Amino acid sequence: MSFIEPTGRQGVTDYRAPQVKGDTWLAVVAGIEDEVVQYFMVSARCGCFMQAARSLNVRATQLRKQLALLEERLQRSLFNFQGSALTLSRDGQQLHAQLTSLARERQLPVVEQPIIRLAVAESILHDILGRDLVSLLRRNASLRLDIISLDSDLALQTITADVVLWLTADDLPKPAPSFATSKPLRLARLDYLPHIAKRYSRVTARPDSVDDLADFLLVQWQQDRQVDSFRPWNTLVDERLAGVVQLHSYELMLEMIRCSACIGLLPAYMSRYDRGLIALPGLFAEPMQRQVWLAVNADSREQSEVQMLVELIHNTFRERRDWFES
């Protein structure tokens, strides 16, 4: 499928100009700009304009425009569509061979991308930020992103990152990262409640008090044992002589609650994240809460990639603000 549109004239299909041939063709190929060569070679390798644009971190419209100009310049059709697959035409294969032979003499520039380090609380990464991060990477395949899971206060104070998203038990951003950052910004307050899967709990049989929990298996994520504001729940779990599962995996804890009739402590927004789970309010008189904080490394906050990540985080929390309203 060519980008060059044919024109009909008296029943004869013609193109806008005759094809470039012979030595002129070789001269034109040698004069193609490095950026355009990259667009062509990556598109040929990927077999998909959208994937090529992601790999190059450019807009698909920009890539296709440059390839259309290249076809017009060479006066040849370079690509065909076979079903949904993008392939090179005969002229495209010839151009690819010529560019490959020139590759040793002409080193195409590789734009090195900076490594952006995101340190984030595991539950926030899994429940709130994960899907939007996947969307970001789908649009920007050339990113170099290092995601660090914060599993303890000690980890928060020993890592170095460009963007940090962490949880505290009170209204102050302490503990905080040990390196210089922008002023920490509170993004949300999270309330925590015991949860159970709907399919394992009829309305008439749901627990109404702490004593009623004696008939249920409890599951606890080990990281929650460190949280002072979870004292009511942790005390209950510690007093149990039977019927307790301790886990180091957040995802496995969620799976236990979904599939094993367990009750576990989760953020109150969880029923919005997973419609199969339901909160059990009113079991504890004392509220259990945590605060979500965001800070940016003072040395890298001006980098465009860091700013893009920070903007994504702000947008994610704005879009889900109803999750955090009591």
pLDDT at 103: 63
**Fold designation for 7-102:** Arc Repressor Mutant, subunit A (1.10.10)
For residue 6, give Cα distances in angstroms to 2, 82, 89, 309: 9, 19, 16, 44
Domain residue ranges of the chain, discontinuous segments joined by +: 7-102, 115-323
Residues found in the chain: 326
pLDDT band at 28 (very low <50, low <70, confident <90, very high): confident
The pLDDT tens digits for 176-200 are 999 999 999 999 999 999 999 988 8
What's CA 116's distance to the chain center, in Å? 13
Give pLDDT tens digits for 51-70: 888 878 788 899 999 999 98
Question: Residues with Cβ < 8 Å from 128, sequence gap 6 or more?
Answer: 316, 317, 320, 323
| Buried/exposed 185-214: b ≥16 CB within 10 Å, e otherwise | eebbebbbbbbbbbebbeeeebbeeeeebe
pLDDT value at position 284?
94
Tokens of 307: 């700013």
Q: What is the pLDDT of residue 118?
A: 96
- As given in the structure block, the two tokens for residue 122 are 């595991």
Nearest-5° Cα angle at 173, 170 to 177: 140
Above 90 in pLDDT, residue 41? no
Share of the chain above pLDDT 90, in %: 51
Secondary structure element (H or E) that encloses residue 257, with its range: helix 250-259
Neighbour-count burial of 294, counting CB atoms closer than 10 A to its CB (0-12 exposed, 13-18 middle, 19+ buried): buried
Q: Which two tokens stand for residue 230?
A: 């979870």
The beta-strand segments (E) located in 64-213 are: 79-82, 85-88, 115-121, 144-150, 163-168, 185-197
Cα angle 65, 312, 148 (rounded to 5 degrees) comes to: 115
- How is domain 115-323 classified at the architecture level of CATH? 3-Layer(aba) Sandwich (3.40)
Work out the mean pLDDT of the chain and round it to a whole number.
85
pLDDT in tens, 224-255: 998 999 999 999 999 999 999 999 999 999 99
Q: pLDDT-derived band of residue 15, with 50, 70 and 90 as boundaries?
A: very low
